[in-house]
A and B are shown apart, each in its own frame.
Chain A
Amino acid sequence: MSYSLHTLVPLPVMLPLFAAGLTLALWRFPRAQRVITVVTLSLMVAAAVGLLVGADGDPLVVNVGDWSAPVGIDLVADRLSALMLVVSSVMLLLVLLYSLGQGVSDDAADDEATPVSIYHPTYLVLAAGVSNAFLSGDLFNLYVGFEVLLAASYVLLTLGGTGERIRAGAIYVVVALLSSVVFLVAIALTYGATGTVNLAQLAERMPDVDPNVRLIIELLLLLAFGIKAAIFPLSAWLPDSYPTAPAPVTAVFAGLLTKVGVYAIIRTETLLFPDGRVDDVLMVLALLTMVVGILGAVAQDDIKRLLSFTLVSHIGYMVFGISLASEAGMAAAIFYVVHHITVQTTLFLVVGLVERRGGSTSLDRLGGLARVAPGLAVLFFVPAMNLAGIPPLSGFLGKVGLIEEGARQGTPLVWVLVVGSVVTSLLTLYALVKTWNKAFWQTAPAHLPEARLPAAMVGPAAALVALGLGITVFAGPLYAYAERAAATLMDGHTYVEAVFPDGAARGQGESDKGVKRDARIDPDDVVRSPTPEALPTGAPPTGAPPTGGAS
C-alpha cells in the first residue's frame, strides 16, 4: 500500500467534477465535450480499477485537505466501495459511448430532446455524485453526494422539458426531495445523539446511544435510503418516471441510482447498526419488493415499463441478502448488486436499440424482430436470461448464493423468503419470455419501419452483454472478492481502524467521556465482538466493561 494508491481515492470524484466545469465552458464545441467526457470517464475506470486492487486489503483512507478524520472529511475506499466504483464507472463509460452513437446519428428527434451542451456536464456531475456517495466516510458527505447525483439526475430526467418528461420528472423530483429531507433529519438526530457525523466515529459511539433513539435513527436512515433504492412501499415513483427519459439516461439511472441507495443501506447497517434489530422488517420488505415488483412487471405491455418493474423487484434480492446479516448473505448481496447493475443497464440499452429498430417499445406494436434483426435478438436474449437467473449465468449464481445462505439459516421467515425469491425468479422468466415472444417471435402487427442500427450504439451494448458474460465466466474471483468485501464489512473494526490508525486520536477533544472512548479503541474491546447488544448500553461510565486498553 503505497502513497500513490492513496492519491487515487479522490480521483473518481475530482476528475468528473473538473471535467464537468470544462465541458460546460466548452459548450460551443460539442466535439471537444465528447472527447473530454470519454477521456475523463476512461480515467475514472482506470482509477477505480487501481482502487479495486489497492483496497484489496486494508481500506484506503484519504483525509481531505489533510484534516484528520474526526475533524475533517475523509474518503474511504474499502473493497465494497472499490467494487461499486469499478462497476459504476464502467457502466457510465459504456452508456456514454452508446449515447454518443445515438446522438451522432439521430439528428432531429432525439437531439432536440437531449440538448448536448448540457448533457455532458450533467452526466459528469452525476458520475462525481455517485463516486462521492461510494467513497464518503462521513454521513453528511454522503448526503452531499446524494444531492449532487440527484440534482444531476433531475436535469437528465427532464432533458428537453417535453410534456411527458415534466410530468414524470415532477413526481420523481418531489419524491427525491422528500427523501433528502428525511436523510437530513436523520443526520440531525444522529449528530444530536452522538456529536459526530463521521461514519467510523459513529460506529464507535452508536452502541452507547439509547437503543430507542438508535432505532429511530436507523429507521429514518432506512426510510431515506429505501426511497432511493426503491424498496417496496417506497417504490411507486420508479416505474413511472424512469421510462420517459432517453434510453441511455434510463439505463444509467436503472444501473446506478437505486444501487447507491442499496450501497448506503449496506454501509449503515453493517457499520452503524450491526445489532440487526430491523432484519426481520427488512426480510418482509424484501419479500414484498420482490413479489409486488414482479407482479407489476407481468402486467406491463411496454418493455421499458416492464424492465422498470423488474428493477424494483430485483432490489428485493439485495435487501434479502442484507437482511440475512451474515457474511455469506452479504457476499451474495454484493455479487448480486454487481450482476444486477450490469444486466439491468444492458437491458435498457438494448431496449433503446429495439426502439430504434422497431419504432416502439410497446409489445403490441413490435414483432418479428428475431428474423429482421437476429443480432439484436441475441443481444436481448442473453441479458434477459441472465436477469431471470438461468444457469449458468451470473444471475443464477447470485440467487444460488442467497438461497444457500437462506436455507442454512433456515428460520421460517427465511424459508418464506427463499420460496418468494424462487417464485420471483420464475415470474421474471415469464415476463421476459413474454417479451421475447411478442417482440421477437410473433409476426409483426404492423410493418416495421426500415431502420439501421448504428454501430456506435450496438458496440457499447454488445460490450455490456459481453461484460455480463464476463461476470459469469470470472464469477469465481469476483465472488471471492465479494466474500472478502463482506468479511470486511461484517467484522466491524477494519473500517474504523483504517480511519483511525492511531486509536488514541479518536475521542480527542470530542467528549467528556474521552477515557471511556479510548478504552473502546482497543481492538480487543468487547464492543466489537459480534454481539454488541450484550453490552449494558447506557450504563454509567464507571460501569463500562473493564478493558485492558484503557489509557
Chain B
Amino acid sequence: MDAYRAIADPTRRAILDELVDRGGQSLFELCSRLTLKHGITSTRQAISQHLEVLEEAGLVRWKREGRSKLHWFVGKPLKAIAKRWRIGEQA
C-alpha cells in the first residue's frame, strides 16, 4: 500500500500523531494512547494490522530493543509527496 492510502484512515493518522509525540513505542503503549487520548477502542490485533500497513507504506519502522518491539514514525514518504507538488517552494 502507498502512503496516500495509508494515511487515508483516521486511526492510522492517530497512530502517526502518537508516534510523532514519542518515538519508540510498543504496541501496548500505542494502544493505551489511542484508547485514552483518542477514544479509539480498536482491538490490539486491529492496531497491529494498521501498523503493518504503515510499515508497508514506509511511514513506520520498528526495531527490537531488548525483548520488545518498538515503533517509530518515518516522514520520508510524506516529504516525497510535498516535493511532488513543490510544497514549501511557493508562497
A binds B: no
Measuring CB to CB, which residues of chain B are less than 8 angstroms from any residue of chain A? none
